[in-house]
Amino acid sequence: MTVIPPQSAIENLELIARQVVEGFIIGLHKSPFHGFSVEFAEHRLYNSGDNLKYVDWKVFGRNDRMFVKKFEEETNLRCCIAIDTSSSMFFPGEGLSKLHYSCVAAACLLHLFKKQLDAGSLALFDESLNELTAARSGVRHYRMLMNELEKLLQLQDPHRQTRAAAALHQVAERVHQRSLIIVFSDMPDDPEQNDALFDALQHLRYNKHEVLLFHVVDGRRELDFDFENRPYEFVDMETNETLKLNPSDIKEEYIKRMTAYRTRLANQCLQYHIDMVTCDMREPVEQVLHRYLIKRNKMM
């Protein structure tokens, strides 16, 4: 499993994505996860007498083991990766942020799209939809999308709030063919914004799109509320509101409310037939690839 390096160590996004995906593929060879509609899902160990033209020499060169490709299936799934670029995605402000985690995960997905000949596109949003690219499958287009992700890695906090609902309504209207919409966001915690967001997600479903929602969180700070027992000043990254307190005074109540919030999100996703996955930045990015393949296999 691959742990994403901190921001300062992310120098070549395409290289990192290729290493993660290729390691993930080798892991599939050794796991019970067979049958995915992807070229590498039907590899098996070489047996004496097998036709050498079906040997995957790239895998052999990396691992000194011979695998035979049963088949390679060309597909034409259309996938749009929508990334929240609002100020809260720059949390925790040092090391690996939620935005950087999302960019690395998106790069890995794009690498899979290229291998599967699937058409990929990017949507970037904060207070509005800032960019929505066309969905294509060519190498030139793939490189352009990687370049856009690398630009995001250099982006400074734009001091913008999240208006995901309006942006996703635009995506629903502008992506005309049935697609898989993959959303990376830390999700609004305001009940009114949350309801508006699910209206937009329902709009995507009404327009025949499938939705895979990755809820990106810093598990140590946001889920476990793990802070030292001393006074802190907490700053809202989107509104700049401040609150001074000792975390130990409210930890129990915070975890109770956070648990209730996450349960409500999960129930809403279940109601609208949306697949939601919590992405804790402490965990390897391979979980994103697994959930994508499971969703993709259901669609194919």
Structure tokens at 80: 């749009």
- Per CATH, domain 75-299 is 3.30.70.20: no
Ranges 7-11, 96-100, 101-105, 234-238: which has the least confidence: 7-11
Q: What is the pTM of this model?
A: 0.82
Q: Where are the domains of the chain?
A: 14-69, 75-299
Give CA–CA dist 300/290, Å, rounded.
15
For the segment 150-194, what is each residue's pLDDT rounded down to a tens digit?
999 888 877 888 888 999 999 999 998 889 999 999 987 777 788
